[in-house]
Structure 1
Amino acid sequence: MSASSRRPRSTSAAVRVPSTLWALGPAPLDPDDRWPDPILSHAIAEFSEPGSRMLLVDWPAPTARGNLRVPSPDTAAALAQIRELDRLSSDAPDSGESVDLVVASLLRDPVNPVRAAEYITTLATEAMAMGGLLVVLSRCRHSDSGVLHDPAGSVVAAAQAADLLYLQHIIAAPISGTTITAAPAEPGSSAVARHHVAHTDVFVFLQPAHG
């Protein structure tokens, strides 16, 4: 038996390792945008095929009214964008069908990055098919005192604790020529911030298929 014939079969398309930098055009990104259009479009194109099933997971978790989940307006717009790109989208992980791609957003300031990372990885691993992918969007933030907080460590630790394989860390940034376009300063932080946050982190994890 050849080595290739012993490889586990995946329910999703073959994984393609993308560039480690996504150039998003010259316009700066809105730091309060939970689902930036150019980043979400890149993730969909890189990690899924038309007809794929997708799940969006955001933090803080959507509010519930009775038995209904109420997505935020920006999440509802992102779901519509996914459908326009010929993917099947949902923000509810309990639909009963496995998904090929989960995109999770921590772009709204997580008060507790450890709890946020554990929340999104738990939902993702329950929803993903074997061979499915989890893509996490995050960025550094400054505390009120100017300390830089990076949720990357919490995201990677939670994913690895859930037995996901760490595939890639991508930098997504608006670029004009050879210069990264400056993002708007965080409100109230300009006087104390020691770092200028100019990019978004995109982390990619695989739910390995088993033979």
Structure 2
Amino acid sequence: MGKLTARAIAERALEIGDTEGLDAVTIRRLATDLGVTPMALYWHYKNKDQLLVGMADHLISGFAPKPAGERPWQAQLRDLVEGLVRTLRIHPCAKHVFEQIDAVEVPSFLAVWEQALSLARSAGFSVDESCLLSKYLLQSSIAIADASAHVPAHDPAEIRAKKVGLQALAPETYPNLVAMAGPLICGTPPGLYDTFGVDLVLSGIEALAARR
């Protein structure tokens, strides 16, 4: 292969994380897959903690916030959240990567974070509120992008069993659980999941801003 780069290492690490989980991502495994010695990887990442930060940086590097222009802060914030969700959705392991790193250490995330803070201030939120808002936005974007949160189990028998279990509840006590057993267990359409989730988050922010 050509010259080993941090990008190539991060890409392969994400591929392994997506298919096998982050526990399978090790320096030795990556070295074997990339056809190099472990020492070659240490030039770029001295340990797994640094590798995870590199993976997170690579995850976000494909997303660049749109220029502000003359658009209102609400439109800019929606672009930011929707773009972040789309970017994170590419890699199923994204949620687990971000759970194990400090976002402050991720260079490509700093631009996203800076814009979120700027938009929060433009909306009239205080410094403390803007800091909280930016963190909630990241957490919400990760949660919405996490495919495992809304994709039902792959085993059809398991899905049916869970659905039947809810439908078997006493309807006089749990009328909504019984009536909505289908979407609760089988999942809602992905498009609705994303748009409703983003609308829910942004509507709350806009409602709070309107009180300022």
The TM-score, its normalising length taken from structure 2, stands at 0.24
Q: Max radius of gyration: which structure?
A: 2
Highest RCO, 1 vs 2 (Cα 8 Å, sep ≥ 6): 1
The TM-score, its normalising length taken from structure 1, stands at 0.24
Structure that is richer in strand per residue? 1
Structure that is richer in helix per residue? 2
